[in-house]
């Protein structure tokens, strides 16, 4: 049986562009974090639309854009939907948030694998 395993290590980006962090993470620091993580064998990067008021994903996108295509293709970038965003967690809201996340990171599934998850239950989402 083929079993997919989740990695034990993720690069969290919550502090990218967040002005209230103890040390501000600018574009240069974000790229340094990302390249160090990749050099250590990391492939999974965690982000969210709401981090740093929406500024985290564009900063992550700028860092990813500086990587060569081969390295970018190995990354799995996961983002999260949030009920406070337009459309909430309904089908239209999830589609809108995924589109906004892809645009903010400046990517498509052609070179960076993307996942979208929710962090809280919503009665507007059908369970299948």
For 74-112, write each residue's pLDDT tens digit. 888 888 888 888 888 888 988 888 888 888 888 765 334
* Predicted local distance difference test score (pLDDT) of residue 14: 93
d(C-alpha 7, C-alpha 44), whole Å: 7
Write out the CATH class of domain 11-117: alpha beta
DSSP summary character for residue 67: S
- Residues with Cβ within 8 Å of 21's Cβ and at least 6 positions away in sequence, in order, are 15
pLDDT tens, 22-79?
889 999 999 999 999 999 999 999 999 889 999 999 999 999 999 998 898 888 888 8
First to last CA, the chain: 24
At residue 128, the pLDDT reads 47
pTM: 0.80
How far apart (Å, rounded) are the C-alpha atoms in residues 34 and 42?
9
The two three-digit tokens of residue 70, written as one number: 């081969």
């Amino acid at each position: 049986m083929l079993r997919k395993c989740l990695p034990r290590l993720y690069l969290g980006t919550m502090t990218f562009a967040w002005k209230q962090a103890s040390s501000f993470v600018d574009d240069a620091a974000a790229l340094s974090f990302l390249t160090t993580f990749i050099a250590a064998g990391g492939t999974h990067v965690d982000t969210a639309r709401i981090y740093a008021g929406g500024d985290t994903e564009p900063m992550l996108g700028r860092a990813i854009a500086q990587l060569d295509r081969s390295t970018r293709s190995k990354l799995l970038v996961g983002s999260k939907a949030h009920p406070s965003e337009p459309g909430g967690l309904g089908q239209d809201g999830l589609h809108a948030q995924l589109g906004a996340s892809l645009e903010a990171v400046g990517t498509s599934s052609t070179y960076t694998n993307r996942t979208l998850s929710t962090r809280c239950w919503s009665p507007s989402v059908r369970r299948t």
